[in-house]
Amino acid sequence: MTASGILFVLCAPSGTGKSTLVRRLVAEFPNFAFSVSCTTRAPRPSERDGHDYHFLSHEEFIRRRETGFFAEWAEVHGNLYGTPKAATLELLAAGRDVLFDIDVQGARQLRSSLGQGAYVFLFPPSPEELSRRLLGRGTETPQSLARRMAAAKDEIAHSPEFDYWIVNDDLETAYQQLRAIYLAEKCRPQYQHAWQHIVQQAWGLS
């Protein structure tokens, strides 16, 4: 039975544990797909155009952006990155679930441009715990820690825009909540077009 794929969007402040949860979710559910993004940065030696990224000139990226080519885009460290809208919709139409590990700005753009999806915000247990986790990486200076904590406060201020909230106090609990959200979303009627048709025929519904 063919069903439409779902757009599954996860946002969290840096250091919350989002990447760990995403890796586990993708490992358990192989139906997830990732659309190949476009970028204006130069390819690294091991990267292939069209496989890792679509590498575009700055001018070409801007041209495509102005035509509505991207479902979302952002500037990161002076380079532009964007997700092609048509390719994402094609994956969804083919029944693949598309996962976005993205920031709040990107999530807002996705909701505006695609008009669908489940949007999940992941919280750290507290500011103190987030600071401890960031310092535990061993890569933060006092200045970079302050920037990350300020960015976390700003992102959390936008958390009411999301459909679901998870507090990553315990990793196993957080993961079970995340997979429960995903499985529940898969059962929504709007993704079950083939089953809707079968039900209508079986029960003589118009």
pLDDT of residue 2: 59
In this structure, what are the phi and psi dihedrals at residue 105, rounded to the nearest 5 degrees?
Answer: -60, -45
User: What does pLDDT average to in each consecutive run of 10 residues of the chain (206 residues)?
Assistant: 85 94 96 92 94 96 97 93 96 95 93 95 97 92 94 96 97 98 93 82 86
3-state secondary structure of 44: coil
**Helix/strand number for the chain, H first, E second:** 8, 9
pLDDT for the residue numbered 201: 87
Q: Where are the beta strands (DSSP E) in 24-124?
A: 32-33, 38-39, 54-55, 70-76, 79-84, 97-101, 118-123
Q: Fill in the amino acid letter for 136.
A: G
Model-level pTM?
A: 0.89
Q: Going from the N-terminus, what domains does the chain have, and what CATH number goes with each?
A: 1-31+97-201 (3.40.50.300), 35-94 (3.30.63.10)
Residue 86, CA distances (Å) to 4, 35, 101, 172 in order: 15, 10, 19, 35
The secondary structure of residue 63, as a DSSP letter, is H
